[in-house]
Amino acid sequence: MSKRHWQLYPLISEEAEKKLSDFDDVTRQLLFNRGITDAAAAEVFLSSDYVKYRHSPFAFKQMAAAVDLIIKHIKDGEKIVVYGDYDCDGVTASAVILEVLNTLKAKTDVYIPDRVTEGYGLNRQAIQELKEGGAKLIITVDNGIRNKEEVEFIKGLGLSVIITDHHVPPPEVELLPDCIIVNPMVPGETYPFKYLAGVGVSAKLAMALIERAKLSDELKLRLEERILDLVALGTIADCVPLIDENRVLVKKGLAVLNQARRPGLRELVKASKINPNKPLDSWNVSFQLTPRLNAAGRMDHANTAFELLMGKTEQESAELALELNGRNVDRQKITEEIVNQIIKSVEAEMTEDKIIVAISPSVYGRGDAWNEGIVGLVAGRLSERYYLPALVITGNEEEIKGSGRSIDEYNLIKAVESVSCSLFKYGGHAAACGFSIRGQENLAKFIKDIKQSANDALGGLELKPKLLLEADIDLSLVDESLLAIIDKLAPFGESNARPLFVSKGVNIVDVAKLGLEGKHLRLKIRNSTSKVKTAIGFGLVAEWPDLKIGDTIDIAYYIELNEFNGRREVQLRITDMHLT
């Protein structure tokens, strides 16, 4: 019996079907599922015309003011410091703006805080050091929108500041920092697309600077396109919706990434052992490149990732890529150890609470603290395993930090905001959050309040992960033509998932176990109208140990191309099954 709830998208409306009549049946349904209901919207979605469909950076209300201030500092020869963040989005955002500033002959420096000793956002000690180092203008990237006091401190030191960000602002306008802000989410902002990643906003500032430069249009476009590999990396890594302008930026950015111009990324691809004979896609970025770039900040300092992205030589880049690869291996090992430790505790003390709260023994003065850089990953693994929101908390008895991941039914940042009286700092969005707490008393109150919040919101609901199925199709349609249709919808990611199909009443004609330990499942399947197809289910033998020839199943799957020894075969990647 499946542990997941199957949810099929509604059939395309008659009106949308007429307006999309130039497309085949499957393409029409896939477009409709993505909110595309007419030919004009379909043309934009499927287009590769980056120049035509990107928005003007000067659509931001304060972009002109930001560019004027930066140009003044460049002309005056005053140092501009890019104040970044330690995740992939923040590191790529830092690299994007610094690269363009350097091209425009600005006097620059970069500062990326340490995740553990400094934490997220601006901090006064770092600002003071930057002032003493000659900084005159600080540009923040992906560093939040809630640093009102720190911005006043910067201004009090006689420095200028520009905030570029993409996070949700505080609920009251008066809590916003009093400075130039470039953020599509702030109240009253006129920019037409609200869901840029931090690197997307940083890129818009860079593009505005390029647009103002006294260069030919051809050179301006070349400079703009040169940074798009970084924009694609950070945008995919930050899991923002891959729709509208994000889709335009990522599509073009992947094309630039596949030109392998940047030495650091060339070497990172090698270190990641990515197949050199296939173009890089959003999956490679999400699951192979991003974890290695993020491992820098999680396991030590994000400067390593930044240096890799900005590296000029093959030798330096190769060394940094291998270092990041090693840190990622360490990250995987430590994450697994902590997850297993928490699972034992959770399953030994099952409660009726609708949220998992796991606390490092170090918080109570016992043992070593869990690595602060990976508690978010641990929370994600727990949330996925139990389909509940999960918080993982580490630190010591006084300085306590936590990270959370959530499920569709529970808006985590709203919940945290509702009980924030116990918190020192917090931030995030519906699916993830981070927070800091001072002292055991505040921790106890926070845990009590957040559990009550989750129990109130989720009590009585049947909590089951959903499989969103694009269409119920006949097995005979699974071929290279359908695969070509799917590929036109790429790049895939948040809000544009790779299509997941269902075929019902399928007969099993062969069953085999694959892998050294026989954990993987290979089925040969067919129905009355189709040829025999191959279906692969990785790790599914434990869930479906008794399948046999002659069984009839409903099957949920992705479609992929298997190329081996010169042979090409379209196969199904099994996600779930129902025995009928």
d(CA 22, CA 39): 8
Instruction: Find the CATH number of the domain harbouring 545.
Output: 2.40.50.460
Which residue is associated with the tokens 């099993």?
508
The per-residue pLDDT for 228 is 97
- Same structural domain for residues 523 and 398? no
**Residue 344 lies inside a defined structural domain of this protein:** no
Predicted local confidence at residue 351, as pLDDT: 86
**Which of the four pLDDT bands, split at 50, 70 and 90, describes residue 119?**
confident
Residue type, 494: E
Q: Is residue 19 part of a domain?
A: yes
Q: What is the pLDDT of residues 486-532, one digit of tens each?
A: 999 999 999 999 999 999 999 999 999 998 889 999 999 999 999 99
298 and 316 part of one domain: yes
User: Domain boundary residue among 400, 429, 458?
Assistant: 458
The CATH code of the domain that includes 240 is 3.90.1640.30
Portion of the chain with pLDDT greater than 70, in percent: 100
DSSP, collapsed to helix, strand or coil, labels residue 576 as strand
Quote the DSSP letter at residue 10: P
Does residue 194 share a domain with residue 61? yes
Q: What values do phi and psi take at 288, rounded to 5? A: -125, -45
Does the CA dihedral 278-575-413-347 come out positive or negative? negative
Report the alpha-carbon distance of residue 272 to residue 266 in Å, rounded: 10
Same-domain pairing of 409 and 355? yes
- From the CB of residue 184, how many other CB atoms can be counted at a distance below 10 Å? 21
pLDDT digits (tens, 9 = 90+) for 542-577: 999 999 999 999 999 999 998 877 788 999 999 999
What pLDDT does residue 180 have? 97
What's the mean pLDDT in 460-484? 94
Same domain, 156 and 20: no
Residue-wise pLDDT for 411-446, tens only, equals 999 999 999 999 988 887 888 999 999 999 999 999
Q: Are 371 and 339 in contact (CB under 8 A)?
A: no
Pick from 165, 157, 174, 175: nearest CA to 89: 165
Whether residue 442 sits in one domain with residue 420: yes
DSSP per residue over 72-123, as a string?
A: HHHHTT-EEEEE--SSHHHHHHHHHHHHHHHHTT--EEEE---TTTT-SS--
Q: What is the pairing mode between strands 135-141 and 79-83?
A: parallel
Global pTM exceeds 0.85: yes
Sheet holding 356-359, edge to edge: 356-359, 390-395, 399-405, 432-438, 425-429
Query: Containing H/E element for 342?
Result: helix 314-348
Say if residues 533 and 475 touch (Cβ distance below 8 Å). yes
* Best CA proximity match to 470, nearest among 493, 500, 515: 500
Q: Is residue 342 in some structural domain?
A: no
- Cα–Cα distance between 212 and 266 in angstroms, integer? 31
Q: What is d(CA 478, CA 475) in angstroms, rounded to the nearest whole number?
A: 6
From the list 579, 560, 563, the residue with the least C-alpha distance to 571 is: 560
When pLDDT is averaged across residues 258-267 and rounded to a whole number, the result is 94
Q: Which amino acid is at 477?
A: L
Cα–Cα distance measured from residue 422 to residue 402, given in angstroms and rounded to the nearest whole number: 13
Q: Which of 458, 481, 499 is a domain's end point?
A: 458
- C-alpha count within 13 angstroms, C-beta hemisphere, residue 283: 9
Residue 2: predicted pLDDT: 59
504 and 359 co-located in one domain: no
Same domain, yes or no, for 106 and 251? Answer: yes
Q: Are residues 78 and 208 in the same domain?
A: yes
Instruction: Dump pLDDT digits (tens) for 157-205.
Output: 999 999 999 988 887 888 899 999 999 999 999 999 999 999 999 999 9
295 and 219 in a common domain? no
Is 339 part of a structural domain of the chain? no
CA 340 – CA 385 distance, rounded (Å): 12
- Compute the distance between CA of residue 17 and CA of residue 24 in angstroms, rounded to an integer: 10
Q: Judge whether residue 1 has pLDDT over 60.
A: no
Domain limits at 429?
Answer: 351-458
Q: Is residue 343 part of a domain?
A: no
528's CB contacts (< 8 A; 6+ apart) are none
| Joined tokens for residue 43 | 């043309």
CB 141 within 8 A of CB 97: yes
Mapped to the 3 state alphabet, what secondary structure does 427-441 carry? EEECCEEEEEEECHH
* 144 located within any domain: yes
CA distances from 31 to 44, 45, 342 (A): 12, 9, 42
Q: Is residue 150 part of a domain?
A: yes
The residue out of 432, 458, 484 marking a domain boundary is: 458
d(CA 419, CA 405): 16
Q: Residue 147, exposed/middle/buried by CB under 10 A (0-12, 13-18, 19+)?
A: buried
For the chain, count helices (H), then strands (E).
Answer: 21, 18
Cβ-based neighbours of 325, under 8 Å, separated by 6 or more:
271, 272, 292
Closest CA to 501 of 535, 467, 469, 538: 469
3-state secondary structure of 393: strand
Give the orientation angle of helix 228-237 with respect to helix 217-226, to 10 degrees: 40
Strands 432-438 and 399-405 come out as antiparallel
When divided into structural domains, the chain yields a total of 4
Residue 118's pLDDT is 83
Mean pLDDT over the full length of the chain: 94
For residue 228, is it within any domain? yes
Place of tokens 């349609």: 477
pLDDT at position 111, please?
96
Q: Are residues 71 and 141 in the same domain?
A: yes
Q: How far apart are the first and last CA of the chain?
A: 10
pLDDT digits (tens, 9 = 90+) for 312-371: 899 999 999 999 999 999 999 999 999 999 999 999 887 899 999 999 999 999 989 999
User: Residue 367 — left, alpha, or beta (φ > 0 → left; ψ -120 to 50 → alpha)?
Assistant: left
Residue 449: which CATH number? 3.10.310.30
Same domain, 239 and 301: no
Residue 331 parent element (H or E): helix 314-348
